[in-house]
Each structure stands twice: as structure tokens, then as C-alpha cells.
């Protein structure tokens, strides 16, 4: 593709990017395994630690079933991301897919809206670290934790994608140890009469006296929150080896691996503590389960890993955000001098990373956790819908491919995301609307100066 002086060969190498000081593009060094670890660090294999209490109460004790449903629902969108990454392996991800499969204006709007999600994710992670760390170590003020975390996360990303990859390996190793510890402790406890006293039961999936389909479906958006971040893998297309194959494989693998871990943890958690009405408070439900089966040590580890997971998600979400901004700037949709700059040695979008770190730090000092968490879903679900529509536009309308994989599957993914998007809070809708209007205003500016052009014709294969 050639666009505004930017040349991309197979989406892997980029040369002559305006605003990048004449350097080459992003460095394609990430293997399939590294991509999977990146995605797992972003999604978080220990997500139930945070959401278990709320989900168990909302689903009337059927949170394992809720996670199973959420995994199936999200997998349709994961497949759509994989298909579009195979066709257009570029750092712009959602923006690039919608631009080429639908229209440049649709791509710009999709990219602009999902930027909101990518900006908010590092901020949310910094706030979680600040709140939790301050509770664990009250002698260090919340503001100090926020500043320290924002600086550290930004520093890791500035060091290059290899450093980011190594950090995700470390965090995933720590998180894996905690999952193994929890599963082993739960199995030992259940076989020694704790909770239901059995390893095999249908109760976490169906308990007749408390089952409610409305309650189960009502809790599904909470579970879907746990999967947010799998799409970040697609932003690394130009950092990846063989992106046409590996991005698709990694995206689907992350959804499957994370989903299995989520179901397993919630299944065991519900058997250990069957009565969801006795959690007090519900926010610390999983820590209380950990204390029941592993004593204070496991309960404390679970609390620490909430911090660890936030660090991992903060690093990976900032990396994804900077590459989305880079992809849009390279095509002239955002100012190239700021967002299109690549460090000449490390080939990282330095200015975008610094901007993300600054926003996370300032917002972390000004916003509380509840308000920040409410805002994340607006941009994410809107971006997911755009990717599903891109599959339909490119593979079904343009290439006339198989009707199931090119129409039905992405249509299901679109409808699931639309349902979740419509359930976001009024605050998120208001902030999202203001952000979208700002994007439309900038779009009108681009159109007026001729900054949006039709994409080059794409091959029919």
C-alpha cells in the first residue's frame, strides 16, 4: 500500500514515513508465542479475581456459565479480528480494517472512537494500581503510586517492543503461578470437604432453585469486560513475524485460553463458596475464597495480583494505543509530527507513548476508579462492531466468500457487541458522544483540506 508518502510491504515493514525521521517502520520481532503472552497480559488470566463477587451475585450463582457464554460470544469477534489481520496486517488495526473494507471515513471514525478505549485503559490500570497498592501499603500515598506506575509503564514501552514482550513474559509467569496455586488449593479443599466437597458438579452452570436466564444474560456484559484487550494483538501486526497467520492465531488462542481459565476459576470458586448471598463485601469475594482455602497467604497474593494484572494490562494497552495512533498518523489522519514519529534506534512511537503516559498520570490523579471503569466499554464495543462489519464488507460483499464465515459469524459478533454497547452507563454514553463529536469536527477539517482519500485498490485474494 502506498498512502501519503508511506510505503508498506505486506504490512511488515514501513519506510519513508513522514514524521518518522526517515527511519524504517516498526520492528517485526514478535513470534506467535510472544503475541499470545502479550494478549494474555492485556486480557488478564486472573480477571475473575476482580469480577467474581459482582458476577456471582448478578447471575445468582452461575458466573461459570456466564463466562462460558461470554467466551463463545467474544470468539465471533476474535475470529473477525483474525480474518481482517490476515487481509491487512497493519498497526492501524480497527482503523485500517474499516478504512480498506468499508470506506476511509468509516475507518477514521472507527479508529477515532476506539482511541478513547485505548487511552482510557492505561489510565484505568494506573488507578487500579494506585488504589490497591495504597490499601496494601498505606504509608505510601495514592498519588505517589499513580505517578510511579505511570512513569514505569511508560519507561518499559519506550525501551522498545522487545522490553514490552519480556515484561509480559514475567507478568504472565507470576499470574500463572497464582492460578496454579489457587487451583491446587481449591482441589485439595474440595476433596477434603470444604464447600460442596466435590470436584464434579453442575451447580456452577445450573442450579434449579436459583437459575434465571435473565440474570445470567444480565451478567454477561460483566464477563465480557474480562476479555477486553484481545483486540490489542492486532495493533502489533507490524511488530510480528508472519502477521498474516500469527495475528489471527494469537487472537483466537488468547480468547480460548483466557476463557478456559475464567471458567475454571469461577467453577472452583462457586464450589468452594456456594452461597453467593454471603459475600461481604462482594468486591473482595475472591480474596475471601482464597483465604478459606489457602489462608492469609493466598488471600494476600490474590490482592497483590490485582496490582500485577493492572501493571501488565497497563503496559500492553499503552503499547497498543501508541501503535493505533501511529497507524492513523502515518496515513495523515492524525498529525504526523507527533503521532507518526518513530525513535530512530528502537523504532517505537515515542511521542505517542509519552502522551499515553502523561494522560494516564494526570487522569489517575483526577478521576476515581468507578468513573474511569464506566468509560472503557464505549470505545471498545464500537470498535468491535466496526471490525465485524469490515469482515462482511470485505469478505462477503467484495470477495463473495463463504456466507457463514463472511456474513453469519461476523453478524453474530456485531449483534453481541451492539447489545453490550447499548448497556453501557449514561456517563460513558455522554463522554463517548462528546469524543465522537470532536472526532467528527476534526474529520470535517480533514475533508475540507483534502486529507482523506480513497484507498488503493486491494487484491481480490
| Structure confidence by residue, pLDDT tens digits, 144-195 | 999 998 898 888 888 876 666 677 677 777 777 878 888 998 999 999 888 8
Residue 78, helix vs strand vs coil: helix
Q: 109 in a domain, yes or no?
A: yes
Cell numbers that stand for 44 in this block: 488478564
Segment 205-223 mean pLDDT: 82
Q: 3 in a domain, yes or no?
A: no
State the pLDDT at residue 345.
76
Angle subtended at Cα 377 by Cα 371 and Cα 379, rounded to the nearest 5 degrees: 110
Buried b (16+ CB within 10 A) or exposed e, 226-242: bbbbbbbbbbbbbbbee
> Which residues, 6+ apart, have CB-to-CB distance to 123 below 8 Å?
359, 360, 363, 364, 367, 372
pLDDT at 440 over 80: yes
Q: 8 in a domain, yes or no?
A: no
Please, which residues bridge with residue 15 across strands? 7, 24
Number of Cβ within 10 Å of residue 341's Cβ equals: 22
Q: 376 in a domain, yes or no?
A: yes
State the pLDDT at residue 262.
93
* CATH number assigned to the domain comprising residue 358: 1.20.1740.10
The residue ranges of DSSP E strands in 234-377, in sequence order, are none
- Residue 412: pLDDT band with limits 50, 70, 90: very high
How far apart (Å, rounded) are the C-alpha atoms in residues 342 and 17? 9
Alpha-carbon torsion, ordered 345, 155, 13, 95, to 10 deg? -150
pLDDT at 331 over 70: yes
Output 230 or 139, whichever has higher pLDDT. 139
Segment 93-117 mean pLDDT: 85
How far apart (Å, rounded) are the C-alpha atoms in residues 9 and 358? 33
Segment 437-454 mean pLDDT: 78
Please, which residues bridge with residue 2 across strands? 7
Mean of pLDDT over the chain: 80
Q: 401 in a domain, yes or no?
A: yes
How far apart (Å, rounded) are the C-alpha atoms in residues 237 and 235? 6
State the pLDDT at residue 349.
82
How far apart (Å, rounded) are the C-alpha atoms in residues 458 and 396? 14
* φ and ψ at residue 240, rounded to 5 degrees: -105, 150
State the pLDDT at residue 18.
37
How far apart (Å, rounded) are the C-alpha atoms in residues 183 and 189? 10
pLDDT at 9 over 70: no
The domain of 117 spans 25-448
For residue range 234-247, list pLDDT tens digits in order. Answer: 777 777 788 778 88
Angle subtended at Cα 235 by Cα 232 and Cα 239, rounded to the nearest 5 degrees: 120
State the pLDDT at residue 19.
39
Segment 372-387 mean pLDDT: 79
Lowest mean pLDDT among 48-62, 102-116, 278-292, 414-428: 278-292
Q: 456 in a domain, yes or no?
A: no
Segment 3-25 mean pLDDT: 38
Q: 432 in a domain, yes or no?
A: yes
Region for residue 359 given its phi and psi (left: phi exceeds 0; alpha: psi -120 to 50; beta: otherwise): alpha
How far apart (Å, rounded) are the C-alpha atoms in residues 150 and 361? 5
Q: 20 in a domain, yes or no?
A: no
Q: What is the number of domains present in the chain?
A: 1
Cell numbers that stand for 151 in this block: 512513569
Cell numbers that stand for 256 in this block: 480460548
Sheet containing 13-15: order of strands: 2-3, 6-9, 13-15
- Residue 25: pLDDT band with limits 50, 70, 90: low
How far apart (Å, rounded) are the C-alpha atoms in residues 290 and 296? 8
pLDDT at 411 over 90: yes
Residue 240, helix vs strand vs coil: strand
Amino acid at each position: 500500500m502506498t498512502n501519503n508518502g508511506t510505503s508498506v510491504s505486506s504490512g511488515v515493514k514501513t519506510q519513508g514515513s513522514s514524521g518518522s525521521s526517515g527511519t524504517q517502520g516498526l520492528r517485526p520481532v514478535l513470534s506467535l508465542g510472544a503475541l499470545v503472552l502479550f494478549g494474555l497480559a492485556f486480557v488478564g488470566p486472573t480477571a475473575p479475581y476482580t469480577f467474581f463477587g459482582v458476577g456471582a451475585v448478578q447471575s445468582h450463582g452461575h458466573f461459570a456459565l456466564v463466562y462460558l457464554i461470554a467466551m463463545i460470544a467474544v470468539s465471533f469477534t476474535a475470529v473477525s479480528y483474525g480474518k481482517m489481520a490476515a487481509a491487512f496486517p497493519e498497526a492501524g488495526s480497527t482503523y485500517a480494517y474499516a478504512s480498506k473494507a468499508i470506506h476511509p471515513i468509516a475507518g477514521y471514525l472507527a479508529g477515532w472512537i476506539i482511541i478513547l478505549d485505548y487511552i482510557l485503559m492505561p489510565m484505568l490500570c494506573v488507578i487500579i494500581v494506585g488504589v490497591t497498592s495504597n490499601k496494601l501499603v498505606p504509608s505510601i500515598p495514592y498519588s505517589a503510586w499513580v505517578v510511579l506506575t505511570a512513569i514505569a509503564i511508560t519507561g518499559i514501552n519506550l525501551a522498545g517492543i522487545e522490553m514490552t514482550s519480556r515484561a509480559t513474559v514475567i507478568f504472565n509467569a507470576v499470574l500463572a503461578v497464582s492460578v496454579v496455586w489457587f487451583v491446587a488449593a481449591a482441589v485439595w479443599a474440595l476433596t477434603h470437604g470444604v464447600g460442596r466437597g466435590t470436584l464434579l458438579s453442575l451447580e456452577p452452570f445450573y442450579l434449579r432453585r436459583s437459575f434465571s436466564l435473565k440474570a445470567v444474560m444480565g451478567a454477561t456484559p460483566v464477563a465480557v469486560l474480562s476479555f477486553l484487550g484481545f483486540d490489542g494483538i492486532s495493533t502489533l501486526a507490524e511488530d510480528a513475524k508472519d502477521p498474516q497467520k500469527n495475528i489471527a492465531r494469537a487472537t483466537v488462542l488468547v480468547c480460548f485460553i483466557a476463557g478456559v481459565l475464567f471458567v475454571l476459576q469461577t467453577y472452583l470458586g462457586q464450589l468452594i463458596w456456594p452461597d453467593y448471598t454471603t459475600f461481604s463485601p462482594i468486591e473482595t469475594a475472591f480474596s475471601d475464597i482464597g483465604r478459606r482455602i489457602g489462608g492469609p497467604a493466598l488471600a494476600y497474593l490474590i490482592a497483590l495480583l490485582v496490582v500485577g494484572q493492572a501493571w501488565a494490562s497497563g503496559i500492553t494497552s499503552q503499547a497498543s494505543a501508541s501503535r493505533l495512533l501511529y497507524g492513523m498518523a502515518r496515513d495523515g489522519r492524525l498529525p504526523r509530527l507527533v503521532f507518526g514519529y518513530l525513535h530512530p534506534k528502537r523504532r517505537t512511537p515515542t511521542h505517542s507513548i509519552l502522551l499515553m503516559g502523561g494522560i494516564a498520570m494526570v487522569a489517575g490523579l483526577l478521576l476515581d476508579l468507578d468513573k474511569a471503569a464506566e468509560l472503557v466499554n464505549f470505545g471498545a464495543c464500537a470498535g468491535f462492531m466496526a471490525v465485524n462489519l469490515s469482515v462482511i464488507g470485505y469478505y462477503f460483499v467484495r470477495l463473495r466468500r463463504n456466507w457463514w464465515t463472511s456474513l453469519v459469524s461476523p453478524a453474530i459478533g456485531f449483534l453481541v457487541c451492539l447489545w453490550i454497547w447499548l448497556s453501557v452507563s449514561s456517563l460513558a454514553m455522554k463522554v463517548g458522544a462528546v469524543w465522537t463529536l470532536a472526532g467528527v469536527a476534526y474529520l470535517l477539517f480533514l475533508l475540507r483540506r483534502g486529507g482523506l482519500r480513497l484507498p488503493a485498490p486491494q487484491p481480490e485474494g
